[in-house]
Amino acid sequence: TGNLDPDTSLEIMKVLEAKFVKQFINLCFEVYHKGWHERNGGNLSYRIKKEEVESIKENFTYQEEREIGTIVKDLSNEYFLVTGSGCYLMNVKEYPEENICIIKVNEDGTKYQICWGLKNGGKPTSELPSHLMNLEAIKRRSINEKRIVYHMHATNVIALTFVLPLNSEIFTRELWEMATECPVVFPRGIGVIPWMVPGGKDIAIATSKMIEKYDAVIWAHHGMFVTGSTFDETFGLADTIEKSAEILVKVISMKGVFSKEQTISRENFIHLAKDFNLTLNEDVLKICK
Ligand code: 2HA
Ligand code: ZN
């Protein structure tokens, strides 16, 4: 593929030729077709290995430093491939350089620089604090060298968060019961956190604490975060959990359970509107719980 760097005899290649980049792009394409990524929903990140950085860094041009919005000291000076904020996963395969980017975290873990991608401008995923804090938590735990964090809006998982108690043990038990392979695929279980405003440090802290203990973390009324050491394994985990959630939804439907245990409250909507600078329909807000 690429040329040899005369100083290091390392193979130099274009970013899009690197295997991890191809696999990252493929995952975006596959999961879009699962129906988990309406509009710009969901995001993906990968903590790039040192030798992988070496093989492509000739292509990097460093932009200005920007705030991450949290501190990830243990990821100091590391590089990440991430999806772009507002980007549709559907478009990543056709236009990767416009929809994904490589970033470098600074020395003290508070800022990042874009060094490749997002060539029409833009920023890394709005969930960057959660991605980086999860990757940091996994790195600290150093189990299986997990380097991938994936967030999706898995339909049936979300549906269950309106009906089941938001309790990690109960969720795990219910999903384990739905398919024999489930306890094998996610033995550590699934953590569940109640509804929170997305995109910030608080939800990142809550999620990264859970990801140390569980294989996946569900965000009530929003979606799920999973981690993995390969792109296949990461996708497979999300797919397995969502499939068991689909079975559970069918089982509950047949049993006639209709009432919601919890939902996003009016107070939550008002909080969201404030943080995201939205004007929400007052008539709708009025009839919220
Ligand atoms: O739009 O999924 O959680 C990206 C998201 C935010
Ligand atoms: Zn989301």
Ligand 1, pocket residues at CB < 6 Å = 40-43, 126-127, 151, 198
Residues 6+ apart with CB under 8 A from 135: 45, 47, 72, 75, 80, 147, 149
Mutation choice for ligand 1 from 38, 43, 45, 195, CB with most ligand atoms inside 8 A:
43
Residue 6 CA, ligand 2 centroid: distance in Å: 44
Distance CA 262, CA 210 (A): 21
pLDDT exceeds cutoff 70 at 8: no
CA 58 distance to own-chain centroid: 28
Judging by DSSP bridges, how do beta strands 216-219 and 223-228 pair with one another? Answer: antiparallel
Q: What is the average pLDDT score of the chain?
A: 90
Distance CA 284, CA 11 (A): 58
Judging by DSSP bridges, how do beta strands 79-83 and 100-105 pair with one another? Answer: antiparallel
Residue 199 CA, ligand 1 centroid: distance in Å: 8
Q: Is the pTM of this model over 0.75?
A: yes
Residues 6+ apart with CB under 8 A from 102: 15, 48, 60, 79, 80, 81, 82, 114, 115, 116, 117
Q: What is the pLDDT of residue 176?
A: 87
4-8, 74-78, 97-101, 275-279: which range is least confident on average? 4-8
Ligand nearest to the CA of 197: 1
Catalytic residue among 78, 127, 136, 174: 127
Distance CA 90, CA 113 (A): 25
What percentage of the chain exceeds 90 in pLDDT?
70
Strand, coil or helix: 124: strand
Angle (CA) 249-258-36 rounded to 5° is 40
Q: What is the pLDDT of residue 44?
A: 98
Active site residue 67: no
Which residues sit with Cβ closer than 5 angstroms to ligand 2, an ion?
223
| Tokens 């995923």 found at | 125
- Closest by CA to 190, choosing from 35, 30, 164, 107, is 164
Mutation choice for ligand 1 from 125, 130, 202, 217, CB with most ligand atoms inside 8 A:
125
* Tally of CA atoms within 13 A in the half-sphere of 240 that contains its CB: 24
Cβ atoms within 10 A of the Cβ of 96, count? 19
- Encoded tokens for 119: 């060539």
CA 21 distance to own-chain centroid: 16
Q: What is the pLDDT of residue 206?
A: 98
Residue 12 CA, ligand 2 centroid: distance in Å: 35
pLDDT exceeds cutoff 80 at 30: yes
> Going by CA atoms, what residue is nearest to atom 1 of ligand 1?
41
Residue 198 CA, ligand 2 centroid: distance in Å: 7
